[in-house]
Structure formats: C-alpha cells, structure tokens
Amino acid sequence: DTGVSQDPRHKITKRGQNVTFRCDPISEHNRLYWYRQTLGQGPEFLTYFQNEAQLEKSRLLSDRFSAERPKGSFSTLEIQRTEQGDSAMYLCASSLTGEGYTFGSGTRLTVV
Amino acid sequence: GQNIDQPTEMTATEGAIVQINCTYQTSGFNGLFWYQQHAGEAPTFLSYNVLDGLEEKGRFSSFLSRSKGYSYLLLKELQMKDSASYLCAPTSGGFKTIFGAGTRLFVKA
C-alpha cells in the first residue's frame, strides 16, 4: 500500500466554478477524514466517514461543500460556486478506529 | 466546545531539550495526539496518549494529565531536522480529532 493519495496536488480555479477532489485512503482503514488548512493554522475539521457512512460534518461548512465515500473506499470532496475564502490546503486522512491518522499530501486550492 | 492552547513559537539550540505544552478543553475526551508538520508537508503522527502519564518513544516523549486538561511533548537531543510545527490534537467522541494551531519550533545551531 502506498499510503493516502490525493488528486490533484494543485488546483487553480476561477471564483464561481465547481471543483472536486479525490482521496484514496489506505485500503484497510475504515475511517476517512477531510480537513482544511490555511497558512499558520492547524488543520480544521470538515467531515469524516466510517466505511461509507458520513458520521459528522462541521457546522462551519456551508451547503456548498459536499463529500461522499460511495463504496467505503475512495472519497470525493466537492466545492460548488467557489469563493476566494475557499483557498486552502485540503487534507485527507485515514485511520483505523482509535488510531493515529495517516495524512495524504493534500490538494492546494487557489481561487482567483 | 473545543479549546486548545499551545505556544505559537519556540526556539531551541541543537542538542538541547525542549518541552512544548498544550492545554485543552474538549467535551467527550478520549485521548490526545501529537503530530509533526514540516512546512509545506502533511502532518505525521508522533504519539497518542490515552492514560495519564509519560509515554516515551525514542527522542520524543509525550505526557498527559486528563484531570488537568494538560499535555506536553518533550524533544531530546534536538536536531536541525526537528524544526517544524508541532500540533496538539485531542480526540473526542467518535475519535474525531481537533487540531490546535500548532507550535512552530526553530532549532538553531
């Protein structure tokens, strides 16, 4: 297993466009998490899945954000009608329940 | 609610020992992680404390006091490569992890 993979590594988009990111977790991990990180801050929780079930979504997220993990394997994070404030690093992580996270390298989003 | 407090920056000398403190208030507390994050990279797992006391792992040790809502990360024999941000991250019900803003450690020669 090559760890947690995220695609793309970088994304530049115009304000108002939709973007979708993909995360492939470590195959035996049942938990998958999405975080967002801006410069000088720690990762901010967005949502997490146990298998295919989305267990929690941050109240900080607007309805423009949606995440799926349809078969309990890979996950996608979609941002609709992007705004400049959405510019950040989007981190995916996976784990077994109760264990430390393995993070992917992240997708850096720039909204211009 | 969640509240995590750790120093913003620390500077230490190569070969020395440094202690990074963290206080937290978390509902439904399960345990506490420490992660290391180099600039431009993803966080990597360092330690996980569930019970009170000190856990030692090589040059790094982590301490937890659940009753005081307090943890620290101890780094010994500092090396230049230890220059990074160190994230204190308590977990709550469901093992959702909330990260602090991190402590940026600068190791100087």
Band of pLDDT at residue B36, cut at 50, 70 and 90: very high
Across B20-31, average pLDDT: 92
Burial group, residue A90, by CB count within 10 angstroms (0-12, 13-18, 19+): buried
| Inter-chain CB proximity B95 and A91 less than 8 Å | no
User: What average pLDDT does chain A have?
Assistant: 93
How many interchain CB pairs under 8 A, A with B? 50
Total Cβ atoms within 10 A of residue A46: 20
pLDDT for residue A98:
79
- Residue environment code for B87-101, b if the CB has 16+ CB neighbours within 10 A, otherwise e: bbbbbeeebbbbbbb
Could you report the per-residue pLDDT of B64-97, keeping only the tens digit for each?
A: 999 999 999 999 999 999 999 999 999 987 677 8
Q: How confident is the model at residue B1 (pLDDT cuts 50, 70, 90)?
A: low
Q: Which of A41, A91, A101 sits opposite B45 (nearest CB)?
A: A101
